[in-house]
Structure 1
């Protein structure tokens, strides 16, 4: 611990606070997250802390902030049982959120009139239960939802009273005006009849829940996709009501808890805004920071490899994640770690790809050994209690961060129990709340809950439903965001446009095409075969498999890395089922 503290201090003294980076994870508990963020932003005085949530949830965060002025999901898990129509966008809910999906299916079995629509380029297991599957061309969700906004407005589905209390209605509707069903069909490569059927079902069902996940978020236009979905709900007044609302399905157990404490490079603790000077002063005052909190966002997760290779980041501390596998351009990141002066890794696994790149390894406790809290997708905070005693010298992450902070000479980190950290976090969410109002006010929730930390049962901040009209956020009204999707986005088909000539090619010609196979947005292979490479979750594995791959049962469903091709594409390439293939990918845009 002394070595970590002294080397971090020396790095800061020689190169400045922005030479240090924390890369953390939503597999941390809220208490771990809070201490890490406080140390970096309040005392090292740099915003160089980012989370692997950057890879999955940052689009949702930005979309919610643009629409509601705060990072929140206004709905409730019971909406999946109460809705008449569930629309899944970019989510294989059957595999990725099976318990929640099971609740919906049970409700659908009890009431067969409930409908399920799945919008996904792939035919996943979720589609097996769908009344309608829209195999959309990747990247064209905004086209589809602009068309829906136009359809809802033209067919009298606007909730005029509700919409009058929102900003941006006219500009959003105007931006969608050119997206009639024919234009949407051309862009999305969907049948016009299926698109119209989708629009009719949404128009006919006030109790509509639109649940979106990684297929929306993990995109170069992810934030626009989020807002295009939310626009349709704001126009119709289907927000924060039983059985109705846009619903962001979180990818990790505590992504929302991490956002509550501000553990992304562009966020501030307690749902305050990093780019507002008064908010930074408020948090700095609460923490008694030695210097004003820095206003500038310097390095985010996807920029860290370049920042190291450019000499800007000299020390990185990686916690509870395996970015050598999970980050985009992972090979570059591995090279960057080899060039970095100091690589610290806190990890509960004894064997991960990132551990092999570390100068110092700190044995951290796993979730089952730790005590603290997490926040799920419906804003519900749950008390997690340790199941087993920590192995060997392993310690909880909040303790490790606190010890390093104290050894660096910082005050305010004398925590003995996680309850102290949670109560400090709760107090910060209430600090100057009358001056800077926000829904996240945990002290008020705890007073209503009236339970001590150790025996605390789950509590949902903001209540069961958040009325985004009545709530007093950073801007006065919810906002529809004008979305202008590119006209050329649908030019590349999800499946290749097989020409008649392709069907008669010789085996040698097919082999040539196979050898030259390139997967990307605009990469042409021979005379017209165009493919996109997209990814999906495995049913039985978790993230980079450092833990789940140790269980033999979990390796049975899919035993080898698998590429799934449309049968027509496979035939054109001369590829048979269970062949081994080599892929050269030129990814220009996702």
Structure 2
């Protein structure tokens, strides 16, 4: 059965906050056929490399299929009884604030709603926070200070109607590729001009008119200078300002700020201000580079101030636009998943709002003050104040700042529950109780994307083993804790109707989030729900906010917030001279629980790395492919592969945050990030730490490929999935006396036939294991970074590979090189050969010849770089 007769299901991608629609069809073998939904308003059929590879991530490898207590298989009845009893007893002994939930933007809205209701309405604590605290809490705080509520004013259509789009701390080309493609289409159709404000030169700069390499923390003085220029140039909207408070104080603060703190050339700043001022239709897109800062909320408000002062908000083609990093970060904000919020944008510290929600829920208790935000929550776990902790669909032992301390805190907690799809995460390994959860493709509910569009995630695969949806787990614990009626749900549609009805109460309080028209939605209507932008009421559906000057502060006006430059909390100096920036890469997602299953996604950047400027590399004696040790003032260290690039500013270094104890233990880079937070939002400063860097003098380096088990044991190793098994990079500080024995242990092949070449004097070994004519595994060792054709070698386990020990491709088989285009699996050597053989001179021509760059387009900047290098070589010849 090939699945051709299977029905197609409309669902939503589980990665970033773009919220792309996908069409899913079972392939008849437990897998999926995945395509972009041409009718979904977010993507119109486009998918990025991650979305295109979703079918490679839905198998049962590493799935947690039964509950476990103390590492031993258990029944659901015993596991849930234990969870309910321990939480109930902890509350009885120590009070409701002795327990906490740490949840995730991977939850569906219905899951989030039940978790928030259980903790805030029935346990009576606000100690529920979400990993969205790490990515967009500063935006929430900035919105609430300016608008009176957490409202995204604009829509994705504004990207196609803007004359100027400013990307601030947002590498949209890699992190939100489908939105970037919409912008590029607008640029081609109507000449949209793009500006990138980012310390690094990223892929998003490829088509930008202007790149402002601002210093860390320099966003506030930059936008303060813009506000001054708007005032001096007569570009303010005085009529709109009549609906805004705080202008005079904000302008005085802007004049007092020092634009030199941006680190930018003064002429470049003025060119940016001129462009912004002359073009009314400006959209300012911002994300983690703004939010993840100890001054994140101030950065958000500095941006909002400029849009409010000019009235460029809520109208087509203009406005501030926060793009979120998770599929349901917005849904979490809407249901009150943050420790300082109530559901439906109601205010936790407002007694009328609390009373209304409590009456609606018929709940026994409601907290009167915010709970512990993520960093403070895990600090309280470590100090023993929180004694029972439930972690759902997130991996804080890797992703939180000061990750080693967080890992130790979780390990030391009296009682920890983890709900996840796998037991193979750094956090799951610390749990007292593991609960198997339904995964994407099996879950049923809704998510909200960055422009307020609510979409359905629909199940298309059966839930395997004994796994259960998260809302079922939470509701059953609520019932077992004694609150039967409140959590007597049978379907997610019931939860959604209750949530919609609660939003009607928020609407009567004059709040923005109101989907009460759906309160009577029947099961059939819920099943058929199409993507819809909120609000959804009798009077209004969707649209933009604030063009009419109506805001959500008590006086109905907006507020401009006076802000001035505050330097990052960590200061560089002789011992820690480098400014440390962290972030995402194109083809991986969070801590790779899902994307690491895809060979296609693992092929682009197969190991963790540190980007540093050529001048800094020269000063450190670091050569390309060297390993470097990165140390933080907190005494933590990581080992990463050096990438030397002029995309960095001197003194700045960058590392991706995806690798874990499961995939590269020395590269858990959030262990280097200090737990410094924004005083308003509670969001950690993940992009402006300080570190020392030194070349790692390894005794040996290794590269391995295998069709089966691959268990490295070295100071540095990084493992990645391939289409034929696994590959791994390794390096050790101590000599290995018997490489054959070590290789047999590495691959768990104690009796396999061996083929080997060694030279002890050169610390060189090349070892292959076979089963007859079939290659099982191979290891290459040298006293310097191993020079072999890695991408070719990753394809040969399972074949005869007679010349494997040469480490090179046979003469009749070209080496494609490292993958550039993940969507179509096109390597760098294939592209270079086509450029030379076919005299290709443009990215579009490469796409026509090889398909590379024709799907999500996130590889187009890399293709452009290859074309530029080819032109330089031709000119030199």
Q: TM-score, structure 1 length as denominator?
A: 0.90
Paired position in structure 1 for 2:167? 88
8 Å Cα contact 1:469/1:477 also seen in 2? no
CA distance in 1, matches of 2:96, 2:241: 46
Partner in structure 1 of residue 272 of structure 2: 198
Distance in 2 (CA, whole Å) between partners of 1:431 and 1:547 is: 38
Tell me the residue number matched to 2:214. Answer: 136
The answer to which of 438-447 and 419-428 deviates more is: 438-447
Distance (whole Å) between structure 2 residues aligned to residue 5 and residue 24 of structure 1: 18
Query: Are 1:391 and 2:464 counterparts?
Result: yes
Q: Show the counterpart of 1:498.
A: none
Following TM superposition, by how much is the alpha carbon of 1:89 offset from its aligned partner in structure 2, in angstroms? 0.2
If asked which structure has higher relative contact order (CA below 8 Å, sep 6+), I would say 1
- Tell me, in whole angstroms, the C-alpha distance in 2 between the residues paired with 1:135 and 1:189: 8
Question: What SS does the corresponding residue of 2:612 show, helix, strand or coil?
Answer: coil
Matches of 1:255 and 1:470, distance apart in 2: 27
Classify the secondary structure of the residue corresponding to 1:533.
Answer: strand
Structure 1 counterpart SS, 2:578: coil
The C-alpha deviation readout for 1:424-481, integer Å capped at 9, x for no partner, is 00100102633x1111110146789998211111111132211264435243201111
Q: Tell me, in whole angstroms, the C-alpha distance in 2 between the residues paired with 1:130 and 1:326.
A: 31
Q: Which residue is 1:233 aligned to?
A: 307
Match of 2:194 in 1: 116
With over 3 angstroms needed to count, the CA separation of the structure-2 counterparts of 1:470 and 1:151, relative to structure 1, is closer
Q: Residue 523 of structure 1 corresponds to which residue in structure 2?
A: 573
Shift of 1:551: 1.4
Question: Which one of 437, 442, 445 corresponds to residue 369 of structure 1?
Answer: 442
2:6 aligned residue: none
Bigger helix fraction: 1
Q: Which residue of 2 aligns with 1:308?
A: 381
Q: Distance in 1 between matches of 2:371 and 2:518?
A: 34
Q: 2:331 aligns with which of 251, 254, 257?
A: 257
Secondary structure of the 1:545 match is: coil
Is the alpha carbon distance of 1:124 and 1:432 closer, same or farther for their aligned partners in structure 2, counting shifts above 3 Å?
A: closer
Q: Does 1:408 align with 2:488?
A: no
Gaps of 5+ in 1: 493-519
Alignment of 1:475-494 (within 5 A): 475=554, 476-486=556-566, 489=567
- Aligned position for 2:399: 326
CA RMSD between the two structures: 1.8
Equivalent residue, structure 1, for 2:107: 28
Q: Does the 8 Å CA contact 1:165/1:469 hold for their aligned counterparts?
A: no
Matches within 5 A, 1:348-497: 348-410=421-483, 411-431=485-505, 433-434=507-508, 436-444=509-517, 452-462=525-535, 463-467=542-546, 469-471=548-550, 473-475=552-554, 476-486=556-566, 489=567
The counterpart of 1:541, out of the listed 588, 592, 602, is 588
Q: Tell me the distance in 2 between the aligned counterparts of 1:193 and 1:468.
A: 33
Cα distance in 2 for partners of 1:366, 1:449 equals 25
Q: Secondary structure at the match of 1:386?
A: coil
Question: In structure 2, what is the equivalent of residue 499 of structure 1?
Answer: none
Match of 1:583 in 2: 630
Judged with a 3 Å threshold, the aligned counterparts in structure 2 of structure 1 residues 6 and 447 are, in CA distance, closer, same or farther, namely closer
- Secondary structure, aligned partner of 1:86: strand
Q: Secondary structure at the match of 2:211?
A: strand
Distance 1:80 1:64, change over 3 A: same
**In structure 1, distance between residues paired with 2:521 and 2:88:** 43
Q: Residue 337 of structure 1 aligns with which residue?
A: 410
Q: Name the structure 2 match of 1:209.
A: 283
Query: Aligned partners of 1:448 and 1:415: how far apart in 2?
Result: 16
Q: Which has the higher strand share?
A: 2
Does the 8 Å CA contact 1:282/1:432 hold for their aligned counterparts?
no
Cα distance in 2 between the residues matched to 1:456 and 1:298: 34
- Say whether 1:187 aligns with 2:234: no
Task: Confirm or deny: 8 A CA contact 1:85 1:115 kept in the other structure.
Answer: yes
Give the match's secondary structure for 2:245.
coil
What CA distance in whole angstroms lies between the structure 1 residues aligned with 2:275 and 2:523?
43
Unaligned runs of 5+ in 2: 1-79, 536-541, 634-672, 677-687, 689-877
Q: Quick check: 1:51–1:264 contact (8 Å CA) kept in 2?
A: yes
What is the CA-CA distance between 1:305 and the residue it aligns to?
Answer: 2.5
CA distance in 2, matches of 1:429, 1:71: 14
The 3 A distance-change label for structure 1 pair 157 and 445 is farther
Shift of 1:232: 0.4
State how many pairs are aligned: 550
| 8 Å CA contact 1:163, 1:237 repeated in 2 | yes
Distance of 1:363 and 1:123 partners within structure 2: 41
Q: How big is the shift at 1:203?
A: 0.2
Counterpart of 2:867? none
Match of 1:285 among 352, 356, 359: 359
Give the deviation of 1:547 after TM superposition. Answer: 1.6
Q: 2:342 aligns with which of 242, 260, 268?
A: 268
CA distance in 2 between counterparts of 1:13 and 1:43 reads 13
CA distance in structure 1 between the aligned counterparts of 2:550 and 2:219, rounded to whole angstroms: 29
The answer on 1:177 being equivalent to 2:259 is: no
Measured in 1, the distance between the counterparts of 2:562 and 2:533 equals: 32
Asked whether the equivalents of residues 438 and 472 of structure 1 are also in contact (C-alpha less than 8 Å), the reply is: no
Structure whose alpha-carbon radius of gyration is higher: 2
